[in-house]
Chain A
Amino acid sequence: MFVLLAVSAIVFYLCRGFPSGIAPWTPYIHSKMTEEQIQEVIKTHGFDRPLWEQYFYWLRDILNGDWGLTGAWAQGKPANEVFFHHFPYTVELAVFGTILTIIIGIPLGIISAIKNNKLPDHVSRVIALAGYSTPSYWFGFVLQLIFFYYFSVWGLPYLPSSGASDLGSANLTGIPILDGLLTGNFAYSWDEFCHLILPSFSLSFISLGFLARIVRASMLEVLRQDYITMARSKGLKERVVIYRHALKNALIPAVTLTGIFFANLLGGAMITEYVFSWPGVGQQALRAVFQGDSNFLLVYSLVFAVIIVLANLVVDVLYAFLDPRIKY
């Protein structure tokens, strides 16, 4: 609760407190407005009151479900409408990015733990480190260049470079790939899936390194324990020892990391969404930043803070569930 209040207060001050001299109502007006109209805009948004008073009015409105209007960049729609229109796309991207991270990162970590300090370990270490040394926007462009441009130049089947699928119009859950499946529009789902591959791979490449390193470290830790020696001395096969006995305990730290990582992706991978023109919340937030649109930014950072706090809670509970030794 304290975290949420503080986050909103900081964003509120930065957006509306004139630290820069940019008037906070700039995004909500346009050049054709008369002086009276501008005054009216200022009044409806409450910009004429002192800052702390604005903050309390804003808190009251937020609790009443009125989250303010966006600026001209989103045609002045209510901020929550804009947010929840784009949020499903972000969820979709985040889920796919996380799945890819898990299915590549965990095996990579296991391999480098088993072959510790041998060639496979070095290779996976370089992959992991390259993952988090890569500028995300640059990697997105490289993927687009190869899999879209050069594949089409060479006459190979190529992947779409940017945006989400525009084949479907069904709006049940708002998540395109799920809508397509539910309404039987499989072409739409498939197209959306193709659109998802590059951005989610670009996202997961950056984070799978972290996951692989964590899995490796905890695997090494577990393999050193007595019960593993015991399992080996019983004459179990190495494969059984690793996958049945060691892996379960070694994965516990990976759960935390994946949870936090997923929550971060839900906040919108701004840069990846920007590079791939993916219509998620991150890209909208970026536009809002450039327009100085405080209403949308406040909604965005508040929802995200809630997600982070919840994710931490879920991870803690999951931790206790996975490891009975931990008690709260």
Chain B
Amino acid sequence: MQTQTVKTRKGEWEARLADIKYTLYLMKKNPLVMTGTIIALFFIILAFLANFIVDPKLAYPEGYPNNMYPFERKYMWNANHFINWGPGIALYNGPEFFYLGTDGWGRDLLKMIILAIPVDLYNAAIIVIGAVIFGTLLGAIAGYIGGIFDELILRITDVFFAFPGLVLALVFAAMFGRTLDTLRLAVMLVWWPPYVRLMRGQVLSEKQKPYVEALKALGASGPRILLRHVIPNAIYPILVQATMDFGGAILTFSALMFLGFSPSPALPELGNLCADGYGHIFDAPWVILFPGLTMLIISLAFNLVGDGLRDVLDPRLRR
């Protein structure tokens, strides 16, 4: 009996592994997905290395928040730079060379962007993972149990869908203070309902299949069927959605920062760097241009991966 279980489990893993291998093979054939994957990996590696490449003390010099910044060179562009922004730009003639100019604190913008990447990726990852776990479990339970419980959860998600865009997150962030934890929670609050609906629909269709009936006949318990069999079979659309939402989470999180919910104005975070350039769009366009462009590239990379994954995992187009 013991060996029997081990054997089936091994077979199951082999099957799943073969499935993943086939998925990877299909992904390799799609140039857009490959581009997205490479860019996304580049940024992830950069995020891990950021604090070694750039000294984090540059963002918060020693003695912060007292006047430790080189304010005399704020919003400046190198005089001998190959890009010319036109009239009305403050030019820097000193010994240092800033590839992307300086921001409102006189810091090197390129270094600040590099320092910002781990902050953004980390927060977006927490938001998406939190929302996926919460939404998926709730949706799966709602779909599996059904009845009043299902109805109740659906109505609750309806409430969250009826909130105007960012308002819920904004009010939440405004009321509970401006810390990174609150901001993450605020974005998560608006992020989980779609997963509930998605997972519920998946579970509802999965529940009808004969294998669930077979498991029930074998005497498997409800949680076991749900966690070991139904959710793994229904998880792919969720993963696709999560990959695509990762970019969206970065955008929403940094939008909150941009609107002024940043815990510290000097925090190197892409939205916060953009906010720094808000009043200086015509005399220092780079301060808003480059952090936004970074955000666009990261988000686009994850969206390309997600979009390609969806095509690859679509059962109608597969095999």
The residues of A with any CB-CB pair to B shorter than 8 Å are 2-4, 6-7, 10-11, 14-15, 19-20, 22, 122, 125-126, 129-130, 132-139, 141-142, 144-145, 149-150, 153, 213, 264, 267-271, 274, 282, 285-286, 289-290, 292, 297, 300-301, 304-305, 308-309
Contact = CB atoms under 8 A, between A and B. Distances in A.
A267 B258 contact: no
B62 to A, nearest CB: 32
Nearest to B35: A126
Given A3-B162, A10-B159, A274-B259, A286 B170 contact: yes
A105 to B, nearest CB: 16
B303 interface: yes
A145 B282 contact: yes
B288 A7 contact: no
Contacts of B177: 20
B246 to A, nearest CB: 10
Interface string B77-109: 000000000110000000000000000000000
Nearest to B289: A142
A311 to B, nearest CB: 10
B112 interface: no
B164 A14 contact: no
B180 to A, nearest CB: 16
Given A3-B155, A274-B259, A304-B164, A122 B32 contact: yes
B260 interface: yes
B274 A137 contact: yes
B: contact size bracket: 35 or more
18 contacts: A6-B156, A7-B159, A20-B174, A20-B176, A129-B300, A133-B299, A133-B303, A135-B254, A135-B255, A138-B296, A141-B288, A149-B282, A271-B258, A282-B164, A285-B164, A289-B174, A297-B171, A304-B163
A125 B155 CA distance: 34
Given A141-B281, A271-B259, A14 B163 contact: no
Give the secondary structure class of A's interface: helix
Contacts of B299: 133-135
A11 B300 contact: no
Q: Which of B155, B271, B292 has the most CB atoms of chain A within a 10 A radius of its CB?
A: B292
B187 interface: no
A153 to B, nearest CB: 5
Nearest to B159: A6
Contacts of B32: 122, 125-126
Given A135-B295, A292-B174, A268 B281 contact: no
A10 to B, nearest CB: 7
Given A15-B175, A137-B258, A297-B171, A270 B162 contact: no
Contacts of B174: 20, 289-290, 292
Contacts of A134: 296, 299
